[in-house]
Structure 1
């Protein structure tokens, strides 16, 4: 295979990664905005009685750390705010809130594999665009539906949002596999996927300001409107493959053809995916186990982290908002830096691609496990616990250059289908992780209970990375070839 000189100028593949960054940010914002909005949507009986949760005399839960002595910080949902007189609130109990928060993932796990197949057939650009548009429109109508239909309407809309967002990540995997050469894959994919922690952090940081200024509906209107604006740029600037791009430079097209091959992928149906060969593949199971256990640690941190900071360490709600956002901000910066460094080391032959994937995954999972251990042993040492809490989220960003992009290494043609299957199974943790944490804390509402909660991601990350170290590969697997005489098979 001939080699083409790598173009140094900003190219269409970089534009795709940047557009993907904003897509991932909005995708995650609409995915987790309910976690913050529901605080304002539900009447708080404690506030209704005029009790200050930060008062040392008031115990939020039993056997937790002593409350911080600080000036009273008004809650983001203080009933004295004018907006509370015009925006309806709801009397949803803890079970209702858990049902609403988990309902998104009921739909999300269903459309992972169909999303990959649709992206392979119609192009990742269109599947992502339609999925994001539908999610945005549902976000815009959710406040009205909640007021008129109550809990049941909200659950239905969240399930539908999960169904439409479920197609996004496997479609993105298909898109990136067509646009990112192996020697540039880490930093281009990291730039794109880093939008996820950025979007989550941004949502946390602005949630209080939006709610207090405009009421809880703003948490759904804001990302919905931004997504529709983003869609205009997505349709204009992004294309499903380099061959379809009308404005790509000849130099960049030649570079991508020599790096990724010149063949166009077939419109693959589910029946055409070599499931038997994939499920008998050791590299597939290495990725599967790694990402499955990653999801448990990731969702435990996202769903239980703010609650831990508030109920166990007793930070007030404004401090909680900033501290909850910090791990995602650090992860966003860290994963981009790691991606750049990894591609530089691989390009200069300082480290092999396989060793780079394994090293990044080890830093991400075992490093995160070590930080969770720090949280366990920190107890009521708040600042040690906070440092470990932030580091656990930040270090995890190295996995964006590890097992998360590894499906594109072993099978460019079926990477979307592989990621669809893995993401379907892994996102069971979306409702499983917080439910398991709730069971533990129900029986042991104390610092000791939180230690058991954080012990789960320690064990998960240790097992996940061990499997990846044993079975990972970066070689294109034999079953990657599309067995159809009408298709020109992509070869590297």
Structure 2
């Protein structure tokens, strides 16, 4: 059955229960992203307390004077880059359930070990833990995209994909706000790593019981819901398909995703890793206020992402615009608006106005979830995880480079003009990458999505891994 025929029939299908198995899976993806991003962002706040004894009430908590803080913050991405494509390949071939269990446990234990490694090996020990965390989280996005390719019907794709990835935003909010309170209290900064690591471990045990790779391997899914999901995706006979590398690398929409992902990685890394320092050194907020204000852009992003995704699905399903045009509209909101906000931020001297701009920047970035983020699944439901591994793997190098550029440019963290330069560079990156996306992106399933099928069914392989 062709894609158009599938699209014509999907609205008349019985979708099963209002709250079905696919919704349970989406909650698990939300929680996975929430804990993973909490583990990723905790150091951005804690590192301030780790290098300032006056912040923590308990003077027995160790403190350090590290001059390589930007290197420490960027080291997460050294490992993160390495595992993207291997994660996508093995997840597609064998299923991602147990891959996610192993990677989450490694991520959580590495976080828990940070205080011990800081005491034993100083900043180098923290870097080792962060590289290990990066290796583990390199499996995250390709795996989630592979799962969404099996579980997210096209008419619900923007909402389901946004809900799953909004977990990362919510995790950042929790981590940055709660970590600041912990660091300033009697337990001090080490406890923040212990608590988030424990939460990460708890998710891995929940996933062992309730997580499934696809509807066909789920042991209690309603038959009507399973048929609805598989037929809407055209996957009634899901078999292993070889990755069409030639078609992927010759595809202009894929290159649009690569370029756009580069810009988003640059901008989000600057926002995540540098906002606490900027608020502390330029706007003179203490660690408690710093943590809460640093998380405020992510709160706006989290709230508005649901609004943007609902509107996006609504205009697509009502045929107001094509899927590709909708992706371009919301991607532009998620890049051009932050670019304008960051340009203005560099010239602002009023602290409250600066915080308001950061909130608006964060809120509009939420539109990108239903722009470039879910566009991988639009182009190729069968290979969406591979596409995410490819685009995010190649472009995560920008997440390594941006903190190093900040360290090179901002030689004096109290100099606002140097920060202005960083904001201008980031705004330019946002704008240029969005232009590429507008020119080259597409919302249609690509011809190479249906590659030659091999004889061994991936469902059988995945079933063995779920057993």
TM-score of the superposition, structure 1-length normalised? 0.86
Match of 2:309 in 1: 339
Within a 5 Å distance, the mapping from 1:213-292 to structure 2 comes to 213-260=186-233, 261-266=235-240, 272-292=242-262
Match of 2:352 in 1: 383
Residues in 2 aligned to 1:420 and 1:276: alpha-carbon distance in whole angstroms: 16
Question: How far did residue 487 of structure 1 move?
Answer: 6.0
Question: How far did residue 297 of structure 1 move?
Answer: 1.2
**CA distance 1:197–1:123, shift in 2 (3 Å):** same
Match of 1:455 in 2: 424
Match of 2:39 in 1: 30
Residues 264, 487 of structure 1: 8 Å contact kept: no
Within a 5 Å distance, the mapping from 1:180-195 to structure 2 comes to 180-195=152-167
Residues 115, 171 of structure 1: 8 Å contact kept: yes
Question: How far did residue 322 of structure 1 move?
Answer: 1.5
Residues in 2 aligned to 1:141 and 1:314: alpha-carbon distance in whole angstroms: 31
1:140 counterpart = 2:112: yes
Residues in 2 aligned to 1:489 and 1:164: alpha-carbon distance in whole angstroms: 24
1:293 counterpart = 2:266: no
1:109 counterpart = 2:77: no
Match of 1:174 in 2: 146
Residues in 2 aligned to 1:36 and 1:450: alpha-carbon distance in whole angstroms: 19
Point out the structure with the larger helix share: 2
1:129 to 86, 101, 106: 101
Residues 295, 429 of structure 1: 8 Å contact kept: yes
For structure 2, the 5+ residue unaligned runs are 1-5, 460-467
**CA distance 1:366–1:472, shift in 2 (3 Å):** same
For structure 1, the 5+ residue unaligned runs are 48-75
Match of 2:364 in 1: 395
**CA distance 1:485–1:450, shift in 2 (3 Å):** closer
Match of 2:465 in 1: none
Structure 1's consecutive aligned runs of 4 or more residues displaced over 4 angstroms after TM superposition are 487-490
**CA distance 1:347–1:39, shift in 2 (3 Å):** same
Residues in 2 aligned to 1:154 and 1:208: alpha-carbon distance in whole angstroms: 19
Question: How far did residue 420 of structure 1 move?
Answer: 1.0
Match of 2:462 in 1: none
Report the secondary structure of 1:404's partner residue.
Answer: helix
Residues in 2 aligned to 1:22 and 1:93: alpha-carbon distance in whole angstroms: 33
Match of 1:419 in 2: 388
1:5 counterpart = 2:14: yes
Question: How far did residue 163 of structure 1 move?
Answer: 0.7
Question: How far did residue 397 of structure 1 move?
Answer: 0.7
Residues in 1 aligned to 2:27 and 2:429: alpha-carbon distance in whole angstroms: 32
Question: How far did residue 188 of structure 1 move?
Answer: 0.5
1:310 counterpart = 2:283: no
**CA distance 1:142–1:449, shift in 2 (3 Å):** closer
Question: How far did residue 402 of structure 1 move?
Answer: 0.6
CA RMSD after TM alignment: 2.1
Report the secondary structure of 1:109's partner residue.
Answer: helix
Task: List per-residue Cα deviations over 1:36-77 (Å, max 9, x = no partner).
Answer: 222232355xx5xxxxxxxxxxxxxxxxxxxxxxxxxxxx33
Residues 70, 407 of structure 2: 8 Å contact kept: no
Larger Rg: 1
Report the secondary structure of 1:294's partner residue.
Answer: helix
Match of 1:204 in 2: 176
2:442 to 470, 473, 487: 473
Residues 128, 172 of structure 1: 8 Å contact kept: no
Question: How far did residue 485 of structure 1 move?
Answer: 4.3
Question: How far did residue 489 of structure 1 move?
Answer: 10
Residues in 1 aligned to 2:225 and 2:143: alpha-carbon distance in whole angstroms: 23
Residues 40, 89 of structure 1: 8 Å contact kept: yes
